[in-house]
Amino acid sequence: MSEQMHRILLASRPEGAPSLENFRHDSCPMPDPGTDEVLVKAEYMSLDPYMRGRMSPSESYVPPIEVGAPMQGGAVGEVLRSNHADFAPGDKVYGMFGWASHGCLPGSELQKLAPALQPSSLALGALGMPGFTGWHGLHAYGRPKAGETLVVGAATGPVGSMVGQLAKAAGLRVVGVAGGAEKCALAVESFGFDACLDHRAYAQVDALKAALSEVCPKGIDIYFENLGGKLLEAVLPLMNPMGRIPLCGMIAWYDGSPVSGLSAPDLWRAMLVKQLSVTGFIIANHFDQYPAFLEEVGPMLASGKIRFLEDVAEGLENAPAAFLSMLKGGNTGKQLVKLT
Ligand SMILES: NC(=O)c1ccc[n+]([C@@H]2O[C@H](COP(=O)([O-])OP(=O)(O)OC[C@H]3O[C@@H](n4cnc5c(N)ncnc54)[C@H](OP(=O)(O)O)[C@@H]3O)[C@@H](O)[C@H]2O)c1
């Protein structure tokens, strides 16, 4: 039998929360790179919350994945064969190979990994898209100033932990919100947050709001929005006038069911009365600033000033379970899959 490439396909669209039945393993003959194409053996692939959106049929900033097509996503790997002048066997590269053991892409769609990106998994996490998202969202739309207070949810994930640590380095009071006592301890002890609240311990918005107001005695100047849901509802009344909300994600609502009582008039009223700046952003449109990010954060990571955690599942076949677990907070740190 010819050499095979393995992939995970979208078997069906989820209704509500996705399940293992929505995925299917598939193998096909190894692709032969054509003109200007490069064949890559994947080493690590990234699992990200945005992939949940692409499983649904609704149009977003990227088209939905077709049922029967491979799951999409970023990965790093080693070049096996190259028909492109810029790449040679052995080169370490990043590309959108999807959930697959190999990728075959035009050289123009690949990036060689910069020397700072060692181990290569960093290109998918701390020094890749999620870390860059935290850096860009905080600086461009949060506009942090020393002495201010910032709140961020999914605080121990790759975006939230980057945001919190950069804000601490800029002299802010930083309060995280995370799922479970262990993650909260991690946010304070490893990532240096001033406080972290366990959102699971506060079933009611009012209780979460009261706890937040205790750890944010001067109110909230920046709310880095990763979640939506209950946290958004608790944060809004505590926002200071002229506060900023970088709108990065709303994972609490990705399954389609609203989990908060926040109405559109409540939201607009808070934004108007407090004169809030809310800026949605899609990081794929800002990669011209990636070199500046790498230059600033690369040395901070190398020196230990910024810390970073990875949660690595082994084997392509375990990608669906790791993805479902990550959506429910089962990950501690950046969720990766090591292709074995
Ligand atoms: N705008 C952009 O271009 C862009 C780019 C990258 C990421 N994002 C967004 O940034 C956010 C963080 O991404 P990430 O990669 O760093 O994810 P992540 O933290 O690795 O994983 C998602 C985390 O969200 C939390 N979560 C899930 N459901 C929740 C719920 N109902 N209520 C509260 N928390 C919940 C869980 O953490 P806990 O266990 O701590 O609750 C889970 O671990 C996501 O919303 C993502 O879509 C946006």
For residue 87, the CA-to-ligand 1 centroid distance in Å is 34
For residue 328, the CA-to-ligand 1 centroid distance in Å is 9
| H helical segments located in the chain | 50-54, 129-136, 158-169, 181-189, 205-215, 229-235, 264-273, 290-303, 319-327
Dihedral sign, Cα of residue 82, residue 87, residue 89, residue 93: negative
Written out in words, the top-level CATH class of the domain with range 4-125+309-338 is alpha beta
CB of 77 closer than 6 angstroms to any ligand 1 atom? no
CB of 251 closer than 6 angstroms to any ligand 1 atom? yes
Q: Which atom of ligand 1 is nearest to the CA of 50?
A: 47
CB of 151 closer than 6 angstroms to any ligand 1 atom? no
CB of 246 closer than 6 angstroms to any ligand 1 atom? no
CA atoms within 13 A on the CB side of 117: 25
Look-up of token digits 């989820």:
14
pLDDT of amino acid 1: 61
* Cα 225 from Cα 323, distance rounded (Å): 21
Candidates 165, 251, 326: which one to mutate for ligand 1, based on the most atoms within 8 Å of Cβ?
A: 251
Residue spans per domain, the chain? 4-125+309-338, 129-283
| H helical segments located in 170-318 | 181-189, 205-215, 229-235, 264-273, 290-303
For residue 303, the CA-to-ligand 1 centroid distance in Å is 26
Is residue 222 within 8 Å of residue 276, measured between CB atoms? Answer: no
Measured between alpha carbons, how far is residue 39 from residues 43, 63, 85, 185, 329 in Å?
Answer: 13, 25, 13, 43, 34
Instruction: Determine the angle formed by the axes of helices 158-169 and 290-303, rounding to 10 degrees.
Output: 80
| CA-wise closest residue to 167 among 139, 141, 196 | 139
Helix/strand/coil for 10: strand
Two structure tokens written together for 53: 């959106």
For residue 125, the CA-to-ligand 1 centroid distance in Å is 13
pTM of the model: 0.96
Is residue 126 within 8 Å of residue 334, measured between CB atoms? Answer: yes
Per-residue model confidence as pLDDT tens for the chain (340 residues):
689 999 999 999 999 899 999 999 999 999 999 999 999 999 999 999 999 999 999 877 788 999 999 999 999 999 999 999 999 999 999 999 999 999 999 999 999 998 878 899 999 999 999 999 999 999 999 999 999 999 999 999 999 999 999 999 999 999 999 999 999 999 999 999 999 999 999 989 999 999 999 999 999 999 999 999 999 999 999 999 999 999 999 999 988 776 678 888 989 999 999 999 999 999 999 999 999 999 999 999 999 999 999 999 999 999 999 999 999 999 999 999 999 7
Q: Which CATH superfamily is domain 129-283 in?
A: NAD(P)-binding Rossmann-like Domain (3.40.50.720)
Nearest CA to ligand 1 atom 41: 179
154: Cβ contacts below 8 Å, ≥ 6 apart: 160, 177, 178, 226, 227, 249, 251
Dihedral sign, Cα of residue 6, residue 11, residue 16, residue 19: negative
Nearest CA to ligand 1 atom 18: 157
CB of 158 closer than 6 angstroms to any ligand 1 atom? yes
CB of 160 closer than 6 angstroms to any ligand 1 atom? yes
Look-up of token digits 């909230």:
220
